[in-house]
Amino acid sequence: MQRSVSVVGGGVIGLFCARAAAAAGWSVTLHDPTFGARAVGDGAASWVAGGMLAPLSEGWPGEHALLALGSASLRRWHDPVLRADLAGRGVVVSSGSLTVAFDSADAADLRTVADWVGAQGHDLEILSRSEVRTLEPSLSPRVRLGLSAPGELSVDNRALVLALESAVRDRGVQIIRAPVTDLDALTTDRVVVAAGWSTSRLLPGVPVRPVKGEILRLRARSGSASAPTRTVRASVNGRAVYLVPRGDGLVVGATQYEHGDDTAVTVAGVRDLLADAEAVFPAVGDYELAETAAGLRPGSPDNIPVVGRLDDRVVVAAGHGRNGVLLAPVTADAVVAELEGEPLAEAACALPERFPSLTRTRAR
Ligand code: GLY
């Protein structure tokens, strides 16, 4: 008899899990009140996100687990079968990222990342000022060094969500557009909780909390200078900023701070993002400020997601922080592996039992 699973949460993680479970032969029901009707004001991380897939250039000495998990998922993003499925649904995946330094301290950081990530076997390249200018002529002449990661990617997160919605429908996933408040009320054999920061409301021991991020969407106007063609990251006045290209302009992100479940966009957030983007890409002022938004990332205590079985019925997939879009493919494989009873070795760092609050409830 076909086994059944409920997936609670229809963000990028839940959608990827539902798609993978259906492909593995499970009868899947997906619960999400906003399925097919996403709105910026909901604050859902998947809809607000930038779509940057950059685990290598965001690597840092000592963060082995996050680098390994992120690069395992980046490999899956390069999978021709996934790419063909997404391309057939209109999702463009763009290649390359460039991190730029404005001063000697930032330049030293870029060399540290290049050395450490390179020593783990990944392909990063330090670029001189003139090489950066050749690659991305629209960037500020104040850039003094660059770090190129040609194998990194970016994806339009909203096109991705819509494509995954159509993919799960095509695979026969049943959609229930209502919130879940009680896991015991679900009648399926198994339950996957992928409800972002609100996962801890359903599973109180899971240490996931909202981490606010503000982000801008800028649209090119007639006569605007061309935006960079790859993801550009920088530190400006000690604040991280990134610019992700989109067909019609670019996305500028993101602030990061804790303020409960507040999704108001603040004046200071927009001011800082615009100032920092202008330091990187001086022509940004010509663009239309098309949208400001705030989303709630699901933060975990160690910045590694919480993915695995909590008991014989419930699997959790949450706590992806800044990396939900990046980590969705490896998370889906890990969740299906758990449903089949065999954890995925590549995702062992994400198992829930690393947290004392989750060791007692786990029954294998
Ligand atoms: N995905 C990058 C961020 O959350 O800022």
48 exposure class (CB count in 10 Å sphere: 0-12, 13-18, 19+):
buried
- For residue 173, count other CB atoms closer than 10 A to its CB: 23
Asked whether the predicted pLDDT for residue 360 surpasses 60, the reply is no
Ligand 1 centroid, distance to 99 Cα (angstroms): 15
Ligand 1 centroid, distance to 16 Cα (angstroms): 18
Predicted confidence at residue 256, as pLDDT, reads: 97
Binding site membership of 297 for ligand 1 (Cβ less than 6 Å): yes
The stretch 72-99 carries a mean pLDDT of 96
Phi and psi at residue 346, in whole multiples of 5°?
-60, -20
Instruction: List Cβ neighbours of 305 (8 Å cut-off, separation of 6 or more).
Output: 69, 317, 318, 319, 320, 321, 323, 327, 331, 350
Cα angle value 79/158/257 (rounded, 5°) = 105
Phi and psi at residue 99, in whole multiples of 5°?
-105, 135
Binding site membership of 327 for ligand 1 (Cβ less than 6 Å): no
Nearest C-alpha to atom 4 of ligand 1 is from which residue? 322
Peptide bond into 254 cis (omega under 30): yes
Nearest C-alpha to atom 5 of ligand 1 is from which residue? 254
Tokens of 277: 């983007």
Predicted confidence at residue 1, as pLDDT, reads: 84
What's the CA gap between 232 and 230, in Å, rounded? 6
Binding site membership of 213 for ligand 1 (Cβ less than 6 Å): yes
Mean pLDDT for the chain overall: 96
In DSSP terms, which residues pair with 247 in a beta bridge? Answer: none
Tokens of 59: 């690597």
Nearest C-alpha to atom 1 of ligand 1 is from which residue? 322
Instruction: List Cβ neighbours of 355 (8 Å cut-off, separation of 6 or more).
Output: 205, 207, 301, 306
What's the CA gap between 196 and 327, in Å, rounded? 13
**Inter-CA distances, 109 with 65, 94, 144, Å:** 20, 25, 13
Cα angle value 129/97/296 (rounded, 5°) = 125
Ligand 1 centroid, distance to 25 Cα (angstroms): 33
Binding site membership of 254 for ligand 1 (Cβ less than 6 Å): yes
| Closest ligand 1 atom to Cα of 325 | 1
* Band of pLDDT at residue 363, cut at 50, 70 and 90: very low
Binding site membership of 253 for ligand 1 (Cβ less than 6 Å): yes
Tokens of 18: 């539902």
Residue given tokens 């059944």 in the structure block? 4
| Closest ligand 1 atom to Cα of 295 | 4
* Band of pLDDT at residue 357, cut at 50, 70 and 90: confident
Asked whether the predicted pLDDT for residue 94 surpasses 50, the reply is yes
Instruction: List Cβ neighbours of 114 (8 Å cut-off, separation of 6 or more).
Output: 124, 125, 126, 147
What's the CA gap between 42 and 294, in Å, rounded? 9
| Closest ligand 1 atom to Cα of 297 | 4
223 exposure class (CB count in 10 Å sphere: 0-12, 13-18, 19+):
exposed
Stated pTM of the model: 0.97
Q: Where are the alpha helices (DSSP H) in the chain?
A: 12-23, 45-48, 64-77, 80-88, 104-119, 129-135, 157-170, 199-202, 267-280, 324-339, 356-359
Ligand 1 centroid, distance to 253 Cα (angstroms): 7
Binding site membership of 12 for ligand 1 (Cβ less than 6 Å): no
Predicted confidence at residue 362, as pLDDT, reads: 44
In DSSP terms, which residues pair with 116 in a beta bridge? Answer: none
pLDDT digits (tens, 9 = 90+) for 213-262: 999 999 999 999 999 999 999 999 999 999 999 999 999 999 999 999 99
Task: Enumerate domains of the chain plus CATH numbers.
Answer: 4-48+158-208+301-363 (3.50.50.60), 93-153+211-299 (3.30.9.10)
Binding site membership of 319 for ligand 1 (Cβ less than 6 Å): no
Q: Pseudo-torsion of CA 271, 277, 283, 289, nearest 10°?
A: -50
356 or 27, which is more confident = 27
Predicted confidence at residue 20, as pLDDT, reads: 98
Nearest C-alpha to atom 2 of ligand 1 is from which residue? 322
What's the CA gap between 62 and 328, in Å, rounded? 23
Predicted confidence at residue 364, as pLDDT, reads: 39
